[in-house]
Chain A
Amino acid sequence: TSVAMAVACCRGLLSPFCGRLRAGPRARLRSVVAAASPPLYDVVVSGGGMVGSAMAAVLGHDIHFHDKKIALLEAGPRKEYDHVPDSYSNRVSSISPGSATLLSSFGAWDHVCSLRLKPFRRMQVWDACSEAMIVFEKDDLDDMGYIVENDVIMSALTKQLDAVADRVEVFYRSRAVGYTWPLPSHSCDTSPWVQIELADGRRLQTKLLIGADGHNSVVRKEAKIKNIEHRYDQSAVVATLHLSEATDNNVAWQRFLPTGPIALLPLSDTASSLVWSTSHEHASELLSMDEESFVDSINSAFWSNVNHSDFIDAAGAMFRSAISLLKPSGTAVRQLPPSVAKVDPESRAMFPLGMGHATEYVQHRVALIGDAAHRVHPLAGQGVNLGFGDIACLAHHLSAAAFNGGDLGSLKHLLKFETERQRHNISLITAIDVLKRLYSTRLAPLVLLRTWGLQATNALPPVKVRI
């Protein structure tokens, strides 16, 4: 049947206009070759991390994609577990309520809840060089966000991909090594689809390629999309910590040290996850020191006032009294972060940090999402949430295009996705980069600026809500 169809296609293409050969034994051979042409998918997502897997799952569950073919390419093995291991994984993410909504739209959030997560209600951010502090919390005592282990999210996504296995084909242990881009759509002879070659020699074709392959995206490089990138002189140290005493632990803590921010993210009433961004040398030291010294460094980072200067303290206090005259409710109660007792052995790790932003998110038949499009410093806990935001936007446009019978790879709707997301992302990415640089110094003028800035921001509800 497929051979017959291919023969019919060949014969249909016999026209002087395109200069093909007449039917004959040669053409028969060619038609056999044509029948073996690579399988054609409507969408291929390259990269099976949290963002890539969620993208494939969202499309797979979309009603307008009911009879479409989707493929997900993941270089690693399948990740799933039915019950969580006793110890926590050291890679966690702060999931915003918006991301949680996306995940529940296709049933993944239920799996996350049944495995393990920690909601938090409050976020306290303060400076090591002054008393300035800002507290974020929702008026209605709702959850501000959730701390979830990345493995838990992956397991939930894998389950939901299984649920739509008739539409979404997942290729594990498959890495794409080459992409061939089509010429603009009105050209005659060549295939209009994107050709993908896998490491094991298999080939696929697709109408739309979504690059979700991380900050070193191969899709982005092969598509020759320029990337503005910058390596920070920092690495992040992660670890799983056990607190000195059990507490409600529903607050996320972050202190800006001159070397970089240190954050404590709640995992349970007795455990928290550490994300400490600091210089490469300090990070290596932290990894190699013994566990007791490591715990001491953490406690001292949160509690010590060695970086305060009298000048700044006085200036800060003065500003604070000025604010309390103008706006009595503008200063919040300072809570004290918990102290750490021990660290999980084997849970310490480090990875280098950088920022990146692709100048274009889309091209004909290509779209970038997640870290492939933008990479940020973890200080704001936004990385994966930006990726989930990309998914919600792209899926919305693709779903509408599918319901209009449109060509999924068409720039018309891809550009709408790009404009919406760039508008949203650029200001946030820039703000995070600026914050990172602003807080990387002990210089008095800048410290004063950020001290007053932080105090003012804390007092102004409209600004806080936007953040």
Chain B
Amino acid sequence: QLSPFRVTVKRLFSTSHSSVDSKEMKKFQLLAHKWWDEEGEFSALHSMNDIRVPFIRDSLLNMSRNYHLGNPLAGVKILDVGCGGGLLSEPLGRLGASVTGIDPLEDNIRTADQHKSFDPVLAKRIQYKSSSLEEMVEESMETFDVIVASEVVEHVADLEMFIKCCSQVLKPEGSLFITTINKTQLSYVLGILVAEKIMGIVPEGTHEWEKFVPPEELEHLLEANGFSVKTVNGMLYNPLSGSWSWMESASVNYAVHAVKSGAQGQSSPTDALSEVESEQPSATTGTAL
């Protein structure tokens, strides 16, 4: 377990090719201890669990052959990138998954660790680390069955590198779940004007419209880096009820489920030549879960 001091030193010497944006980090620093106030600054993220957890859970159950409804994600290793205070890691842990939550901000990790510590089941199932995704790549090649990056890609500096790192850390046929905000006029009006400036649903300055990601661009980057996009669903926040729902159009918020292609694609084992190391025995069907 890395001590906080060591990670800080490491970051000082990291290359400039990082997906972590230091300006973004400063924004979240101020809110580091407010994560778990369900009615506070992060209330919209708390209520987003009502749709993003079932989305992740059901997508995984649909691809799996054996599962128990009492412990649906048992045996699944999940990496929660940009876990913040652990708002999404905890429900995934409760559903049986082994979760590793990473966040570049130490204060977030401290808050997350503190919050899970009172529940012995979660304390065992979830591990938090103050780290960037690049730092994970060296130690965790093809380790995870699932990566979730929820409300993260609109804050990263280099999206393509982020996706490449995801691919490296994910097992073949593993799943990547992303939720983020589209870059449209509507998302500017609703996501920034209304959400930040008018209604204060999101703390002001949290988002920059320039960094929003249109689903077409995300899909293109994913497909170009060995992923197959399975689902794109629009999401809508209702500020009056404080709740999220699915929507046809992805013009404001949306969620994506993509699957990393298997080591030998879907055809016979003779089709072997791929860049991914095949130190594991050949990709058998349905191994991810």
The reply to whether A40 and B95 form a contact with Cβ atoms under 8 Å apart is no
The reply to whether B69 and A66 form a contact with Cβ atoms under 8 Å apart is yes
The reply to whether A17 and B118 form a contact with Cβ atoms under 8 Å apart is no
Contact with A along B44-58 (1 / 0, CB 8 A): 000101100110010
Known: A186-B34, A186-B40. A64 touches B70 (CB 8 A): yes
Known: A404-B50, A404-B53, A405-B90. A40 touches B119 (CB 8 A): yes
* Count of inter-chain pairs, beta carbons less than 8 A: 78
The reply to whether A9 and B117 form a contact with Cβ atoms under 8 Å apart is yes
Tell whether A13 is near chain B: CB-to-CB under 8 Å: yes
Contact of A405 among B33, B36, B53, B114 (CB under 8 A): B53
B242, chain A: closest CB distance, angstroms: 9
- Chain B, residue nearest A68 (CB): B70
Tell whether A65 is near chain B: CB-to-CB under 8 Å: yes
Tell whether B92 is near chain A: CB-to-CB under 8 Å: yes
The reply to whether A66 and B68 form a contact with Cβ atoms under 8 Å apart is yes
The reply to whether A18 and B114 form a contact with Cβ atoms under 8 Å apart is yes
- Chain A, residue nearest B72 (CB): A403
Known: A65-B70, A66-B68, A66-B69. A404 touches B114 (CB 8 A): no
A246, chain B: closest CB distance, angstroms: 50
- Chain B, residue nearest A167 (CB): B70
Within 8 A of B (CB), among A353-397: none
The reply to whether B114 and A188 form a contact with Cβ atoms under 8 Å apart is yes
Contact of B36 among A5, A186, A191, A403 (CB under 8 A): A186
The reply to whether B36 and A185 form a contact with Cβ atoms under 8 Å apart is yes
The reply to whether A40 and B120 form a contact with Cβ atoms under 8 Å apart is yes
Q: Considering residues A65, A193, A405, which has the most beta carbons from chain B within 10 angstroms of its beta carbon?
A: A405
- Chain B, residue nearest A185 (CB): B36
The reply to whether A5 and B124 form a contact with Cβ atoms under 8 Å apart is yes
Tell whether A318 is near chain B: CB-to-CB under 8 Å: no
A108, chain B: closest CB distance, angstroms: 21
The reply to whether B107 and A403 form a contact with Cβ atoms under 8 Å apart is no
Tell whether A297 is near chain B: CB-to-CB under 8 Å: no
Residues on A with C-beta less than 8 A from B204 are none
The reply to whether A5 and B120 form a contact with Cβ atoms under 8 Å apart is yes
The reply to whether A191 and B118 form a contact with Cβ atoms under 8 Å apart is yes
Tell whether B110 is near chain A: CB-to-CB under 8 Å: yes
Within 8 A of A (CB), among B89-133: 90-96, 107, 110-111, 113-114, 117-120, 123-124
The reply to whether A412 and B91 form a contact with Cβ atoms under 8 Å apart is no
The reply to whether B93 and A67 form a contact with Cβ atoms under 8 Å apart is no
A403, chain B: closest CB distance, angstroms: 7
A360, chain B: closest CB distance, angstroms: 17
Tell whether B71 is near chain A: CB-to-CB under 8 Å: yes
Task: Give the secondary structure class of A's interface.
Answer: loop
Docked complex Cα distance between A444 and B91 (Å): 63
Tell whether A192 is near chain B: CB-to-CB under 8 Å: yes
Count contacts on A: residues with CB < 8 A to the other chain.
Answer: 29
Docked complex Cα distance between A18 and B111 (Å): 10
Contact of A17 among B57, B70, B110 (CB under 8 A): B110
Tell whether A325 is near chain B: CB-to-CB under 8 Å: no
Tell whether A141 is near chain B: CB-to-CB under 8 Å: no
B112, chain A: closest CB distance, angstroms: 11
Count contacts on B: residues with CB < 8 A to the other chain.
Answer: 36
Tell whether A178 is near chain B: CB-to-CB under 8 Å: no
Docked complex Cα distance between A5 and B124 (Å): 9
Tell whether B21 is near chain A: CB-to-CB under 8 Å: no
Tell whether B38 is near chain A: CB-to-CB under 8 Å: yes
Within 8 A of B (CB), among A182-232: 184-186, 188, 191-193
Contact of B69 among A403, A404, A407 (CB under 8 A): A403
Q: Considering residues A5, A67, A193, which has the most beta carbons from chain B within 10 angstroms of its beta carbon?
A: A67
The reply to whether B91 and A185 form a contact with Cβ atoms under 8 Å apart is no
Docked complex Cα distance between A9 and B111 (Å): 13
Tell whether A85 is near chain B: CB-to-CB under 8 Å: no
- Chain B, residue nearest A182 (CB): B118
Docked complex Cα distance between A63 and B72 (Å): 11
Known: A188-B114, A191-B118, A405-B53. A63 touches B70 (CB 8 A): yes
Tell whether B216 is near chain A: CB-to-CB under 8 Å: no
Tell whether B210 is near chain A: CB-to-CB under 8 Å: no
A100, chain B: closest CB distance, angstroms: 26
Residues on A with C-beta less than 8 A from B113 are 12-13
Residues on B with C-beta less than 8 A from A293 are none
The reply to whether B38 and A410 form a contact with Cβ atoms under 8 Å apart is yes
Contact of B123 among A9, A67, A191, A193 (CB under 8 A): A9
B98, chain A: closest CB distance, angstroms: 14
Docked complex Cα distance between A402 and B91 (Å): 9
B88, chain A: closest CB distance, angstroms: 9
Residues on B with C-beta less than 8 A from A188 are 33, 114
Tell whether B37 is near chain A: CB-to-CB under 8 Å: yes
Residues on B with C-beta less than 8 A from A405 are 49, 53, 57, 90-95
Docked complex Cα distance between A410 and B68 (Å): 24
Query: What residues make up the interface of A, taking CB atoms closer than 8 Å to B?
Result: 5, 9, 12-13, 15, 17-18, 40, 63-67, 184-186, 188, 191-193, 402-407, 410-412
Q: Can you list 28 A-B contacts (CB < 8 A)?
A: A5-B124, A9-B117, A12-B117, A13-B114, A17-B111, A17-B114, A18-B110, A64-B70, A66-B69, A66-B71, A67-B96, A185-B36, A185-B38, A186-B33, A186-B34, A186-B35, A186-B40, A188-B33, A188-B114, A403-B57, A403-B95, A404-B53, A405-B53, A405-B57, A406-B49, A406-B53, A406-B91, A407-B90
